Amino acid sequence: ETGVTQSPTHLIKTRGQQVTLRCSSQSGHNTVSWYQQALGQGPQFIFQYYREEENGRGNFPPRFSGLQFPNYSSELNVNALELDDSALYLCASSPGQPNEKLFFGSGTQLSVL
Amino acid sequence: GEDVEQSLFLSVREGDSSVINCTYTDSSSTYLYWYKQEPGAGLQLLTYIFSNMDMKQDQRLTVLLNKKDKHLSLRIADTQTGDSAIYFCAEAPNAGKSTFGDGTTLTVKP
């Protein structure tokens, strides 16, 4: 059974660019959640996808968007990157609703210059 | 809104017990979690407790919940150097929509 995998592991972008981050959920998991973790802080909930539909969103602007595919993998897209978007982006999957446990990937470290 | 507070640092000697504390504000939380994060890694779920429980024990880990005071603690017995990491408390209506504290850095000295 494979765990949650994220790609790429590191990424450098410049302000104003767009970025796509990818996540493969753990086998059998149909729910994916995305989090942003700034340096020295706890993760902040961006949004959750359940069976390809958005199922809740945190306090992030619309330039943060996502997709979930039929195989339950997911993408996080960020448009018009800002310096404050520099962070570790974590994907987590869980085996359904209601879900009790989250299984995290190792994250994508995004640096915006 | 929801808020989760933790002390930032804790230092203990190897073999001692560690107690990490957390307070939260959302009384509708169903689940309360403890995660561990090592450098360069994602978060590892250590243990969790339902909001209708007072205590949960899992090997060296003991979680205590005081729902009246909205206080959660994690006790690690016989702390080892491998326990050095950042520990996050989180609360949630469901796991995927968790609100995290800013983490407690645990340093274990030999």
- Residues of B in Cβ contact (< 8 Å) with A35: 100
What is the pLDDT at residue A35?
96
What is d(CA A97, CA A28) in angstroms, rounded to the nearest whole number?
13
Smallest Cα distance from A31 to chain B, Å:
8
Residue A33 has pLDDT above 80, yes or no: yes
Residue A1 has pLDDT above 60, yes or no: no
What is the pLDDT at residue A106?
93
Interface contact flag, B94 A99, Cβ < 8 Å: yes
B95, B99, B102 member nearest A100 (Cβ): B95
Residue B70 has pLDDT above 80, yes or no: yes
- DSSP letters, B39-105, are TT--EEEEEEEETT-SEEEETTEEEEEETTTTEEEEEESS--GGG-EEEEEEEESSGGG-EE---EE
Which residue does chain B place closest to A89, by CA atoms?
B42
> Average per-residue pLDDT in chain A?
93
What is the pLDDT at residue A2?
66
CA distances from B74 to A27, A76, A77, B35, B47 (A): 30, 33, 36, 10, 9
Total beta-carbon pairs less than 8 A apart between chain A and chain B: 68
What is the pLDDT at residue A99?
64
B40, B41, B98 member nearest A45 (Cβ): B98
What is the pLDDT at residue B2?
63
User: Which candidate in A30, A102, A106 is best for mutational testing of the B interface (most B CBs within 10 A)?
Assistant: A102
When pLDDT is averaged across residues A98-102 and rounded to a whole number, the result is: 74
Which residue does chain A place closest to B89, by CA atoms?
A42
What is the pLDDT at residue A79?
97
Return the structure tokens found at B46. 């250590």
When pLDDT is averaged across residues A82-91 and rounded to a whole number, the result is: 97
Question: Residue B53's Cα: distance from chain center in Å?
Answer: 15
Dmax over CA atoms of chain A, in Å, equals 39
* pLDDT, tens digit (0-9, with 9 covering 90-100), for A38-67: 999 999 999 999 989 998 999 999 999 999
Which residue does chain A place closest to B87, by CA atoms?
A42
What is the pLDDT at residue B93?
76
When pLDDT is averaged across residues A85-93 and rounded to a whole number, the result is: 96
What is d(CA A45, CA A75) in angstroms, rounded to the nearest whole number?
15
